[in-house]
Amino acid sequence: MYQKILANHRYILLLLICCLLIGGASAAPYSIDITPVSAQAAPGGSITYNVMINAPATFTDPIDFSFDVSSAGYQTVINAGTYQGPYPRSFSYTLQIPSNLPGGINAKVLVNAKSGSSLVRVPLDISIRGAGGPVESIISAITSFINTIQSQISGLTK
């Protein structure tokens, strides 16, 4: 009987710790809206993002922006600058697509807006268009094959 009570106490203690960790994080005093959330571009092209920073008039701290871009083994962090209040404030940022990327791939972009200990993240998607042809067809077939294998492996582990 004591083991059952002790097990319940451990469970309650674990729940309390989780609540403190989750509840202890405060929300950022600002939010960001970005358009477009999903875009297409050709290698060597660009995408212009419109960013809106919303915050109460009492918040005037600078916010540092960066783009984490990753796709098919390619990964980079792009510094998009620091923006100072007063807020609300909007700006545009043009993301250059490297010309050596093959067409027919998708990239994940995570926009980070950091001010002090606050961090807001917004996920974006980029589809890299290609001119078609055999190279893009091969890349598309390999990507599809890899996705199928990952799906099958994921199904086995559940």
Q: Tens place of pLDDT for every residue, the chain, 158 residues? A: 445 544 455 555 555 455 444 544 568 999 999 999 999 998 889 999 999 999 998 999 999 999 998 887 778 899 999 999 899 999 999 999 888 877 788 889 999 999 999 999 999 999 988 765 566 667 667 777 787 887 788 777 65
Which structural domain, as residue segments, surrounds residue 86? 29-156
What does the alpha-carbon distance between residue 34 and residue 84 come to, in Å, rounded to a whole number? 17
What does the alpha-carbon distance between residue 69 and residue 135 come to, in Å, rounded to a whole number? 23
> Residue 6 domain-assigned?
no
The secondary structure element, H or E, covering residue 17 is: helix 2-24
> Residue 102 domain-assigned?
yes
> Residue 80 domain-assigned?
yes
Q: Is 26 helix (H, G, I), strand (E, B) or coil?
A: coil
Query: pTM, whole model, 2 decimals?
Result: 0.65
